[in-house]
Structure 1
Amino acid sequence: MAQRSLLTRALWFVVVGWWATPAVVNAAWFLCATVVGAPIGVKLINLVPTVLTLKEPRSLGDPDAAVGQRSLGVRALYFVLVGWWLGWLWANVAAFLAVTVVGLPIAIPMFDRLPLVTSLYRFDG
């Protein structure tokens, strides 16, 4: 699917993205803390760039998306030891930067890299 226009994405950010993104980030981490909610939490983490600016992510069914991925076991171990706290910190710093005019250009690529920081998952848009 093609990206929405810059004007549409900018309006979304001003009206919804700036406040909804921190809520989605923290809801995702709350869900990831539970065994039952973890799959939904991971999906929410992958949707953070879309919530922020309506950026269209690459389809999870895309065969090219799996190229170069680490094994699920390695990613799970990384998440348990490092990803859960580093990703939460990374996402909240990015959310803070996103509400500042100066920090927004830094926040957008940070949110794009959130799946990688959290679980070593390469989820390029």
Structure 2
Amino acid sequence: MNERSLLVRALWFLLVGWWAIPVIVNAAWALNGTVVLLPLGIKVINLVPTVLTLMEPRSLSAPDSARGQRSLPVRAIYFVLVGWWLSFFWANLAAFLAITVVGLPVAYWILNRLPFVTSLYRFDG
């Protein structure tokens, strides 16, 4: 998988990423509000780093265990007990910080870790 250049990723962030993230995050929480669409909502949250800056996971084809992922039952229990509410506050903190130029690097860091905060999903393997 070819990594996109820093210039392309920066342009994507300036033209698309910054405004698309609130849309993606709110759509994900709307999906998470239903039992039937919850798996899709989690998948959408896991795509936040890609939508933000076109960052690709290091390995999309490797099984979860090869990327150091926790088991699905552990991630599900974490999501039910902690992930759903903590990730809501985590994403809103990032949105608040992104309003300022000074807070933008921290917001970027926070949003790249949103999949892990939500469901212990390690995006970058």
Global fold match (TM > 0.5): yes
Asked if the contact 1:22/1:92 (under 8 Å) is kept, the reply is no
One-letter identity of the residue aligned with 2:95: A
The 8 Å contact of residues 46 and 121 in structure 2, kept in 1 or not, is answered as no
Tell me the SS of whatever aligns to 2:3: coil
Report the number of matched residues: 124
Gaps of 5+ in 2: none
Measured in 2, the distance between the counterparts of 1:62 and 1:40 equals 20
Aligned to 1:82: 82
Whether the 8 Å contact between 1:86 and 1:117 is mirrored in structure 2 is: yes
Corresponding letter in the other structure for 2:35? V
RMSD: 1.7
Any idea what SS the aligned residue of 1:57 has? Answer: coil
**8 Å contact kept, 2:48–2:115:** no
TM-score normalised over the length of structure 2: 0.87
* SS of residue paired to 2:20: helix
Give the conservation status (yes or no) of the 8 Å contact 1:3–1:56.
Answer: yes
**Structure 1 match to 2:29:** 29
Letter in 2 for 1:66: S
Equivalent residue for 1:52? 52
Alignment of 1:1-125 (within 5 A): 1-63=1-63, 65-67=64-66, 68-124=68-124
What SS does the aligned partner of 2:84 have? helix
Shift of 1:96: 2.8
In structure 1, runs of 5+ residues without a counterpart are none
Which aligned runs of 4 or more in structure 1 are off by greater than 6 angstroms?
none
Work out the CA distance in 2 between the residues paired with 1:58 and 1:88: 26
Conserved 8 A contact 2:32-2:38: yes
Quick check: 1:25–1:92 contact (8 Å CA) kept in 2?
no
Say if 2:86 and 2:118, in contact at 8 Å, map to a contact too: yes
Question: Structure 1 99/12 Cα, relative in aligned 2: closer, same or farther at 3 Å?
Answer: farther
The CA deviation at 1:99 is 3.8
Deviations 1:32-58 (A, max 9, x none): 111121121111111101111111123
Name the CA shift for 1:88/1:51 in 2 (closer, same or farther; >3 Å): same
What amino acid is the match of 1:30?
A
